[in-house]
Structure 1
Amino acid sequence: MEERRHAREKAFQVLYQLDINQDASLESMYEAVDEDISQYAKSLIQGVVEKRGIIDKQLDEKLENWSLNRIGTVEKTVLRIALFEIIYIEDVPSKVAINEAVEIAKRFNEDKSGKFINGVLSKFMQE
């Protein structure tokens, strides 16, 4: 569990940097994190990068009175990782993905972010 949380946080850091620095390459972001990135973190990063269009479209459909481009980068990045886990990683229960996303949002932003993340992701549980 701790290992996966660490992997999610590393994935968050890399994906966050990629989002705010459009010119950055994935390789340069791996180097910037400056420590070994676990295979799980790499699979999250690669998956979110590859499926970003699909993930963003699904998130946009669930956001009420919001659009993805109005959401802060922290929240957007956390939502993308969690939704990737919910949809594409079978051995991660949706509730675990959501709880982890809330914790990461709180750690890198504030408690309100956690509530927002929980509200958006819980809509994917109702399907």
Structure 2
Amino acid sequence: MKRREAREKALQALFQIDLANADVNEAIESVLEDRKSDEYFEFLVRGTADKKQEIDEIIKKNLEKWRLERLANVDRNILRLAVFEMLDSEETPVKVVIDEAIEIAKLYGDESSGKFVNAVLSKVKTYLNK
């Protein structure tokens, strides 16, 4: 599985966990649809789910005129995924993480999702001194 596909599948799993309160293992199995799992995909899903509170606090500190709960579900989970990757993936440069999140937001969000995700993650990058 390529990194982009791992991120997209991770977003789908996180969306299920967020909206349906799905168990992490159930969400992973559901998204994979009997395909072989991928190490990076599992790292993203499990890591984001495990650090959700810490990640949400970072996002909240970098939102202007928005509350985390009011964000579109897709945007919220893209931000969570990207912030986790910024924090814990030493092998992926922050610029790549942000670019990938923007592209995924354009695919899965609405017409303003890409710009919104870019703005928030740029602030998070500065906040984390990355």
TM-score tier after normalising by the smaller chain length:
over 0.9
Distance (whole Å) between structure 2 residues aligned to residue 17 and residue 125 of structure 1: 27
**2:58, 2:124 within 8 Å by CA — same for their partners in 1?**
no
Provide the residue aligned with 1:78 in structure 2.
78
Q: CA deviation at 1:32?
A: 1.4
Give 1:21's aligned amino acid. Answer: A
Instruction: Structure 2: state its 5+ residue gaps.
Output: none
Distance (whole Å) between structure 2 residues aligned to residue 62 and residue 90 of structure 1: 22
TM-score (norm 2): 0.91
- The percent of aligned pairs where both chains have the same amino acid is 41
Distance (whole Å) between structure 2 residues aligned to residue 16 and residue 37 of structure 1: 18
Provide the residue aligned with 2:107 in structure 1.
107
Farther-moved stretch of structure 1 (77-86 vs 106-115): 106-115
Aligned-pair Cα RMSD in Å: 1.2
Distance (whole Å) between structure 1 residues aligned to residue 24 and residue 96 of structure 2: 27
Q: How many positions carry a matched residue from both structures?
A: 125
Instruction: Structure 1: state its 5+ residue gaps.
Output: none
Q: CA deviation at 1:124?
A: 2.2
After the TM superposition, which segments of 4 or more aligned residues of structure 1 sit over 6 Å from their partners?
none
TM-score (norm 1): 0.93
**2:13, 2:45 within 8 Å by CA — same for their partners in 1?**
yes
Q: CA deviation at 1:125?
A: 2.5
Q: CA deviation at 1:65?
A: 1.0
For residues 57-104 of structure 1, what are the alpha-carbon distances to aligned partners after superposition, in whole Å with 9 as ceiling and x for unaligned? 010000011110110110000000101111111111111000000111
**2:11, 2:78 within 8 Å by CA — same for their partners in 1?**
yes
Provide the residue aligned with 2:48 in structure 1.
48
